[in-house]
Homo-oligomer: A and B are copies of this chain.
Amino acid sequence: MYRWPKVSYKEEGLREGMQIEDAHISVDDKVSLLDALSETGLEQIVVGSFVSPKWTPQMERIDEIVTKFNPKPGVTYTALALNSRGVERARAYSPPLTIERDSFPRLTCHMCDVFVRRNTNRSQMQEMERWPQIVAQAQELNIKEAGIGCNASWGSNFLGEFQVDSLMTLLEKEHNMWDEVGIKVASVAMGDPMSHCTPAKVEESLYRVKEKWPEIKHFRLHLHNGRNMAIASAYAAMRTLEPEDTLELDGTIGGFGGCPYCGNGRATGMAPTEDLLHMMEDMGIPTGVDIDKLIDCVWMAEGIMGRELFGHVSKAGPRPKHLEQLYDIDMPFVETLEQATHFKKGPQQYEGGIYPYQEPITSPYRDRVEKGQPNYDPANGDYPWKQDWFPSK
């Protein structure tokens, strides 16, 4: 019924995820996970960050990881670097790394002056002070299209909620600077490091951007999930954007992750990749990802971290659609999470479960499906509407 934007997805588990986990997780474990992720069909994977090991010991051995992993042709591997020293370190590993550059020169700042000071040791004012320089550089390079953006777009744990009006006013300031030099604005980025996104606010923000600047066709959202709003917000974004638009989204397998500066730690999280991509496939947005292999990665990550992560599809399994995925109609009770893994591990998981039926379950619907017929006919088809037993009244 609806037409969706193009969606480009980036897996952040090795970066956003691992940066808030135990610093002693081994290089081998991280490399195994990265190699497994490479086999899922994911097109963009962040391998970690080149940052100070003093404050982020979780990334101390990033050099070993990028040396040891098996780059898969066709996959783009990037790493986060927050300053020129970090970029320089990353360059030593390119290839296999692609040095992450924004597709557009971008004027951006954090709406939360506190968070940017805590996280990167500079103020919002210092971010803004760089704007004229970014514009001048773009002019020198004769750049035709530029970007605008805000981080902490909808609110802050330190300053409270930001009105969409305020977000729009900041974006407008940025847009005006590009207008003044005649460079077209083609992209907007909105970040949410402190999990203040809601689908209603994301929708309103994107709608207003599109209404005000219809020439913007490129949208980037980096949403955190501390209040469980990342998937609903991503859906709202897909619903608001159009086929001519491109939406860049990030998330992590299992939904783990966060940063130590935001105040929510491991409770921050992101959209669980497996849940979000499984939704997209159902909507008809191709992801190219093998959900079964992705679930293997979540389970591997849970083994490494020694605890259950936040995602759901890895626990209940994907929605069975095809005959070979359908559950045994005569299966006994399934109660525990361990039993629920039968979708992957097989019927022995629920063996010995309570069996409450006096006779085996049968159903004419399942018989049809077993024969390769659809469960229901399309409207006005034969089944079940024209069966003898179908009540006419």
Contacts and interface: CB of A to CB of B under 8 A. Distances in A.
Interface of A: 1-2, 20, 55, 111-114, 117-118, 123-125, 128-129, 131-132, 135, 155-163, 165-166, 168-169, 173, 177, 180, 195-196, 198-201, 203-204, 207, 225-229, 231-232, 235-236, 239, 260-269, 272, 275, 278-279, 282-283, 308, 310-313, 315-323, 325-327, 329, 331, 333-337, 339-340, 342, 353-354, 356-357, 361, 363-366, 369, 375-380, 384-385, 389-391, 393
Count of identical protomers in the assembly: 2
A329 B114 contact: yes
A337 B232 CA distance: 23
The 10 lowest CB-CB distance pairs between A and B, nearest first, are A226-B316, A260-B333, A228-B312, A166-B376, A267-B315, A267-B316, A228-B275, A232-B232, A267-B340, A265-B334
Given A114-B365, A356-B55, A263 B166 contact: no
B329 A266 contact: no
B340 A161 contact: no
Contacts of A227: 275, 278-279, 312-313, 316, 318-319
A230 to B, nearest CB: 9
Contact of A128 (B129, B228, B390): B390
Contacts of A335: 20, 260, 265-266
B231 A376 contact: no
A114 B159 CA distance: 52
Nearest to A316: B226
B369 A160 contact: yes
A263 B334 contact: yes
Contacts of A310: 310, 312
A324 to B, nearest CB: 11
Given A169-B379, A311-B228, A333-B261, A114 B363 contact: yes
A81 to B, nearest CB: 18
A363 B160 contact: no
